[in-house]
Amino acid sequence: MEVAEPAADDVLVAIRNLKTYYGLRGSFRQRLIGQEAGSVRAVDDVTLDIRRGEVLGLVGESGSGKTTLGRTLLGLVPATEGSVRFEGEEITGMSERELRRLRRRMQIVFQDPHASLNPAMTIEQSVGHPLEIHGVAKGVSRRRRVAEALETVGLAPAEQFIDKYPSDLSGGQKQRAVIARAIILNPVLLVADEPVSMLDMSVRAKILQLMLNLKHEFGFTYLYITHDLATAKFFCDRIAILYLGRIVEMGPSKAIYEDPKHPYTKALLRAIPEPDPRRSVPRDLPRGEVPDAARPPLGCSFHPRCPVAFEVCGWESRDLRDLLEARWAGMPEEAYEAEQAVLGDLTRLDVSSTSFRLETSAGRSSSDIATLLERIREDDPEEPFWRGVREIRVSDGQVEVELNEPYAPRLLPMSAVQVECNLYDEEALARVEAPTIPGR
Amino acid sequence: MIAAPVVSVRDLRVYYGTLSGTVRAVDSVSLEIGAGEVLGLVGESGCGKSTLGRGILGLLPEGAASDGEVLFGDRNLVGMSDRELRKFRGPDLGLIFQEPMTRLNPLMRIEQHFAETLKQHEPGLKDKEIRRRSLETLGKMGIPPTRFNQYPHEFSGGMRQRIMIALALVLRPKLLIADEPTTSLDVIVEAQILSILADLRRNFGTALLLITHNLGIVAEACDRVAVMYAGQIVEEGNARDVFGEPAHPYTRELLRSTISLDTTELHSIPGAPPNLIEPPTGCRFHPRCPDAMQVCPARFPPEEVLEGRRRVSCWLHTPDERAGPIDRHPLEREELALAEEA
């Protein structure tokens, strides 16, 4: 990695090859016979630094692992593998007791202000709770500290709020109270998990402005977790884009927004609805949705949705099934039924594989299957899946489809940023004689 | 006037009774939506936009009363009995909700959802025809026929929302009301759903009322936009015109405070939306309006029609000859206490 390593003092949190997996519970039968049900790789080999005083944005859609990553580095979720060092101290494997000592230095602001304050506690009790837990202050001195914190976050005069209950406050006011609670112990790191996404547009700017002011005043470091690239652009010094538990692109905000490299970053930026009347709904969007993290795609996780995926990006049997289903959606019923009869049962395609067979069914020969596949290809020759097909062998009773071996992308440095995409990896490109990459 | 509006709302009022008083959630709203037209309805939470959507459909909770006219063809839906209204819902009026998962029955296959809907509204429809129409509508939403007999939990969030839209469209309603249909979806899926909704006019000729708090969505998917503040529509017109050159100060401030990729400086509207039990006198936006004049708290501004059929209610746009002798001096106000902030 040729990215200049920041001086060690600059790094507040150093995350190295972090993996956080959640075990799946599995079926009753599986549990009965002690079979593993597999796991979800919520965070899958993430390496990044959070530098002192910066705002690092962790951007991704739901299921990208951004929240799990935030929680793992606070010790709220145990890491499966890898290391998280906070001010030089290893956090993974720490006991709850040891963690509690560190939590004075790192706090979290949650997404839903309505759910993060206990409705039965007054603002004084809620905001002052950390003081009590950590034995810092109680009674009169607690009240004084709470009042100070409330005024700091703009809930002034504090007497108007300190004895109220959360239900008396508006959404924006509640989020201010949550921020007051997070800063009352004077932490160095604040993890803000979608702090404004539940708020009205007109209130978001106020809360972000407050967070910026607090940063200037107290020198906080923020980890800003969001799905919203627009607020991240404004708010963050650096950005890491996450997809299915992996960083696909990371670098200074300016570089990422001016010249996004990863096809996923490009798609995210294009999809943001902008209040600009000259724009209209983009049509060239990635298809589908974030796949199931329990069964991630082969190769690059983004390949099934990527418009520029090429030969070695990880094509597999499930992609053919998706292709067929997309084709059949909107086809007249008779036409779809005819094609389905030729191909027979598709459930076998659900087992991810780069080499699979389509067996003939009653009255259909293997050449029928091959002809149909050929026709589907001719109908949409630009479909990226076909780039992954190495060979289709027609024999008696079956058609065998051979796909290219997947090449798992690596996070590589590229001018100002790091990108995990085969398009920019000479080794991946060298796997194919003449890679077909649209627009290149 | 639009050639032949599918629905025309005139002076609609919806009030709720609460323990602390009457909430005037929708207060004298008039609007029209034509066939194949998408009207965006924007405003902050609590401005009454969802209540307006439900008021049009007659889907109001107990304790709410409505008054005014919702003309659908030559019938006024306001004051109609539930029984009569039910005949309109489905074949004429459709609704798409925000949370697709909570609106699909987890114990029913997608196929059963469609069969139930179609049988309810078009009794006598043959099974084969039900299947054909369902698959056709689902196909237009990108749901493959192979998944017709699956259960809701087997679909992703975006697919469930597509199914909900298909379920509303299979009856070919003339008017569809979509209340924050993309709020719980990821940004790419949101854009996918928006392009589906924007295509409705072409594929189905449906009139669509798209309720959202996201101005970006309106700019991308709507022909016209109505901006709602404190239970009233303060500005309405062609979406390009309104966003390009907002006439009402509230529209302008709302656009300025929206954080987009072009944002270089944060901007916000001081204060918070008023409660609708005792809304401010005169123009309801006057306490937060940077352009407020002496007349604003005193009298309610009349509606003016500007170029391009744009409607706006603001004294700034009322010419002297119509306004009469009004005081246009700036309104002096004491500093807003921080506590008033949202």
Which residues of chain A neighbour B146 with C-beta distances below 8 Å? 325, 328, 340, 346
Number of domains chain B is built from: 1
Inspect the interface and report whether the beta carbons of A227 and B187 lie closer than 8 Å.
Answer: yes
Q: Supply the pTM of this predicted model.
A: 0.91
Instruction: Please compute the mean of the pLDDT values over residues B119-142 and round it to a whole number.
Output: 91
DSSP of A289-340, one letter per residue? -PPPTTSPPSSSTTGGG-TT--TTS---HHHHHHHHHHHHTTS-HHHHHHHH
- A2: three-class secondary structure by DSSP: coil
Percentage of chain B lying above the pLDDT 70 cut: 96
Which residues of chain B neighbour A283 with C-beta distances below 8 Å? 195
A250 has a pLDDT exceeding 50: yes
pLDDT one-digit tens code per residue, B26-60: 999 999 999 999 999 999 988 999 999 999 998 88
Which region among A27-31, A131-135, A165-169, A337-341 has the lowest average model confidence (pLDDT)?
Answer: A27-31
Query: Is B264 contained in some domain?
Result: no
Tell me which of A160, A164, A201, A279 to substitute to probe the interface with B (most B C-beta atoms closer than 10 Å): A201
> Which residue of chain B has the CA closest to A283?
B195
Percentage of chain A lying above the pLDDT 90 cut: 70
Which pLDDT value is given to residue A226?
A: 94
A365 has a pLDDT exceeding 80: yes
Which region among A33-37, A304-308, A349-353, B122-126 has the lowest average model confidence (pLDDT)?
Answer: A33-37
Rounded CA separation B69/B270 (Å): 35
* pLDDT category of residue B342 using cuts at 50, 70 and 90: low
Instruction: Please compute the mean of the pLDDT values over residues B241-258 and round it to a whole number.
Output: 95
Domain assignment of residue A326, given as a range: 317-403
Query: Is B199 contained in some domain?
Result: no
Which pLDDT value is given to residue B192?
A: 87
DSSP secondary-structure letter at B153?
G
Which pLDDT value is given to residue A29?
A: 75
Query: Is A18 contained in some domain?
Result: no
Query: Is B89 contained in some domain?
Result: no
* pLDDT category of residue B202 using cuts at 50, 70 and 90: confident
Which pLDDT value is given to residue B226?
A: 98
Inspect the interface and report whether the beta carbons of B186 and A208 lie closer than 8 Å.
Answer: no
Rounded CA separation B273/B255 (Å): 16
Inspect the interface and report whether the beta carbons of A233 and B263 lie closer than 8 Å.
Answer: yes
Domain assignment of residue B143, given as a range: 109-164
B156 has a pLDDT exceeding 50: yes
Q: Which of A61, A331, A336 sits opposite B186 (nearest CB)?
A: A61
B83 CB contacts (<8 Å, ≥6 apart)?
none
Chain B residues 79-98 with CB within 8 Å of chain A: none
Query: Is A64 contained in some domain?
Result: no
| Tokens of residue B220, six digits | 């991308």
* pLDDT category of residue B1 using cuts at 50, 70 and 90: very low
Q: Which residue has the higher pLDDT, A80 or A285?
A: A80
Rounded CA separation B57/B232 (Å): 18
Query: Is A376 contained in some domain?
Result: yes
Q: Which of A275, A286, A330 sits opposite B215 (nearest CB)?
A: A275
Q: Which of B135, B189, B240 sits opposite A333 (nearest CB)?
A: B135
Which residues of chain A neighbour B261 with C-beta distances below 8 Å? 229-230, 233, 257, 269, 272, 274
Which pLDDT value is given to residue B335?
A: 55
Q: Which residue has the higher pLDDT, B87 or B333?
A: B87
Size of interface A-B (CB pairs under 8 A): 182
Q: With CA atoms as reference, report the closest residue to A256 among A59, A403, A44.
A: A59
Which region among B20-29, B51-60, B178-187 has the lowest average model confidence (pLDDT)?
Answer: B178-187
Inspect the interface and report whether the beta carbons of A325 and B144 lie closer than 8 Å.
Answer: yes
Phi-psi region of A45 (alpha: psi -120 to 50; beta: other; left: phi over 0): left
Q: Which of A154, A227, A228 sits opposite B338 (nearest CB)?
A: A154
Query: Is A237 contained in some domain?
Result: no
* pLDDT category of residue A1 using cuts at 50, 70 and 90: very low
A37 has a pLDDT exceeding 80: no
pLDDT one-digit tens code per residue, A213-234: 999 999 999 999 999 999 999 9
Number of domains chain A is built from: 1
Q: In a 10 Å sphere around its CB, with 0-12 CB exposed, 13-18 middle and 19+ buried, how is residue A117 labelled? A: buried
Unique residue bearing structure tokens 């005949």: B87
Which pLDDT value is given to residue B108?
A: 95
Please provide the size of chain B in residues. Answer: 342
CA-to-CA separations, A439 to A285, A384, A435, B83, B192, in angstroms, rounded: 16, 13, 12, 59, 23
B97 CB contacts (<8 Å, ≥6 apart)?
B103, B164, B179, B181
Which pLDDT value is given to residue A6?
A: 53
A87 has a pLDDT exceeding 50: yes
Query: Is B153 contained in some domain?
Result: yes
DSSP secondary-structure letter at A271?
H
pLDDT one-digit tens code per residue, A50-76: 999 999 999 999 889 999 999 999 999
B324 has a pLDDT exceeding 90: no
One-letter amino acid identity for B277? I
Instruction: Please compute the mean of the pLDDT values over residues A197-210 and round it to a whole number.
Output: 90
Q: Which residue has the higher pLDDT, A43 or B2?
A: A43
Which pLDDT value is given to residue A2?
A: 43
Query: Is B159 contained in some domain?
Result: yes
The complex scores an ipTM of 0.89
- B297: three-class secondary structure by DSSP: helix
Rounded CA separation A112/A115 (Å): 5
Which pLDDT value is given to residue A360?
A: 84
Query: Is A118 contained in some domain?
Result: no
pLDDT one-digit tens code per residue, A325-353: 999 998 888 899 999 989 888 888 988 99
Q: Which residues of A382-403 are buried (b: 16+ CB within 10 A; e: fewer)?
A: eebbbbbbeeeebeeeebebeb
Query: Is A393 contained in some domain?
Result: yes
Query: Is A311 contained in some domain?
Result: no
* pLDDT category of residue A3 using cuts at 50, 70 and 90: very low
A4 has a pLDDT exceeding 60: no
Q: Which residue has the higher pLDDT, B342 or B67?
A: B67
B195 contacts chain A (CB < 8 A): yes
B203 contacts chain A (CB < 8 A): no
Rounded CA separation A351/B40 (Å): 44
Inspect the interface and report whether the beta carbons of B191 and A209 lie closer than 8 Å.
Answer: no
Biggest distance spanned by C-alpha atoms of chain A: 87
Rounded CA separation B266/B39 (Å): 28
Rounded CA separation A238/B60 (Å): 47
